Amino acid sequence: MYFSPEFMAVAMFVTLILFITMGHPLAITLAAVATIFGLIDNGFNFGMLFNLFCSNSWGTFNSYTLVALPLFIFMAQLLDKSKVAEKLFEVLYLDLGSIRGGLGIAVVVVCTVFAATTGIIGASVVAMGLLATPPLINKGYQKEMASGIICSAGTLGILIPPSIMMVIYGGLTGMQATSVGNLFAASIIPGLLLAGLYIVYIWIRCTINPDLGPTITKEEASKYSAGQKLWLTMVYLVPPLTLILLVMGTILMGIATPTEAAGMGAAGAFILALANRTLSWDVLQQVATNTLKTTCMVMFLFLAGKMFSQVFMSMGGSDVVADLLVGGMNPAFAVFLMLFIVFILGMFIDWAAILLITVPIFLPIAGELGYHPLWFAMLQCVVLQSSFLTPPFGYALFYFIGVAPQGYTMMHIYRGIVPFVLLQVVGVILLALFPELILWIPRLVFGT
């Protein structure tokens, strides 16, 4: 029986969404849908489909770039145990507490630094939820404001390098323009731009309505002298910043590949945990086990996503989408439509699945439309960050409610994240209108 490519493309995508919303595991769903539609498309030739999947798997696991993945995960797990965020937050609270919304601004700064050292969203949101929510509420911050700050700033780790999402994106494309190094360089300004928008918003809101974010009390402000504050800031800020420079600096200066830099980052995290006296045999066992579990999960997703995209493209699905977006459609509107699809998918599907499904289809289309692939890749990654915040399945929201103080409801959190999602939209618009915000650092460093 023959089915048109248009019908197969729609049916395959609808089936995937249906199975995911039913609660089936993502990797198994991707692989199962790919197998079912692959067999339908090739007349139930099991041998041909098996050979296709095997050759595809070999190319995936033979990627040197993906070696960086377990190393970055290991680094993140070690830093999660070293209490870096906790000490940094306490110091910045003293430094910024006298500013309107200073405590909220301190949370954004800590999350930005923490994002550049770990990149694990769950760790950032849970850690800051436990550390920052009680002080924010006790100081009189509105519940919605507190939850919005922590959830939005906690998700910066998926964007600010070294980011696991960038490693996966670079591994998916296999293009020099969207290599991991270029993606790391391109994401610096977008990540800092979003953090800056959050800070400006908090300061303006708390200046207009001081009750939303009261300043630090005089007793707390006078607890340490200016010299003591400076010393504490240096002690607790310099080590994580040094680690960031160790990882990012070696990549941007061409001294090390992302994989080699990830190895140095893992070694630096080990030293940092040792210096903080939080390293023990039990901690190492937990870190190693968590790294193994997370790496296996990501690689299984990666493999299943490759299977799905390979079948989708082999039966003409990518051509159907390309004809729809390229044929006669305004290029700018086509880019908007692709990003809008990613945004909507982010409400229901995990970011990794969205990457695995959309990157092989959308990135070539953006190139056909005449847009720089690195520019489009970064717009897509910034939009994907919103998937952690948008209801009904925003992971950051669930991470936060799990550690939120008594009295918090999901409606408090939903109302709190709305302004920050809008700020992310503003960030995407600015990046789209001014491509040099994305391309300047890669061009400066790598000559991309």
- pLDDT given for residue 218 in this prediction: 67
Position 32 in a domain: no
**Of 160, 223, 227, 222, which Cα lies nearest the Cα of 192?**
160
Mean pLDDT of 117-140: 72
Position 43 in a domain: no
Among the residue ranges 89-93, 211-215, 220-224, the one predicted with the least confidence is 220-224
Position 287 in a domain: no
Give the whole-angstrom CA distance, residue 141 versus residue 72. Answer: 35
- Across the chain, mean pLDDT equals 80
Position 70 in a domain: yes
Cβ–Cβ under 8 Å, residues 408 and 143: yes
Position 290 in a domain: no
Q: Which of 22-31, 155-164, 333-342 is modeled with the greatest confidence?
A: 333-342
Among the residue ranges 85-89, 90-94, 178-182, 394-398, the one predicted with the least confidence is 85-89
**Of 381, 235, 307, 275, which Cα lies nearest the Cα of 27?**
307
Work out how many domains the chain is built from and give that number. Answer: 1
- pLDDT given for residue 282 in this prediction: 87
Calculate Rg over the CA atoms of the chain.
22
* Degrees, nearest 5: CA angle 138-142-144: 125
**Of 234, 68, 76, which Cα lies nearest the Cα of 166?**
68
What one-letter code names the amino acid at 74?
Answer: F
Residue 421, SS3? Answer: helix
127: tokens are 């850690």
Position 3 in a domain: no
Instruction: State which residues form the domain around 241.
Output: 63-279+316-446
Give the whole-angstrom CA distance, residue 325 versus residue 401. Answer: 39
Mean pLDDT of 230-243: 78
pLDDT at 301 over 70: yes
Conformation bin of residue 280: beta by default, left when phi > 0, alpha when psi is -120 to 50:
beta
Among the residue ranges 198-202, 247-251, 425-429, the one predicted with the least confidence is 247-251
pLDDT at 431 over 90: yes
Mean pLDDT of 292-307: 77
Please return the burial class of 225, using the count of CB atoms within 10 Å of its CB with bins 0-12, 13-18 and 19+.
Answer: exposed
pLDDT-above-70 percentage for the chain: 87
Give the whole-angstrom CA distance, residue 142 versus residue 234. Answer: 31
**Of 66, 299, 258, which Cα lies nearest the Cα of 161?**
258
pLDDT tens for each residue of 66-105: 777 788 778 777 776 766 666 777 777 777 767 788 888 8
440: tokens are 């300047």
pLDDT at 159 over 80: yes
Position 13 in a domain: no
pLDDT at 328 over 70: no
Position 28 in a domain: no
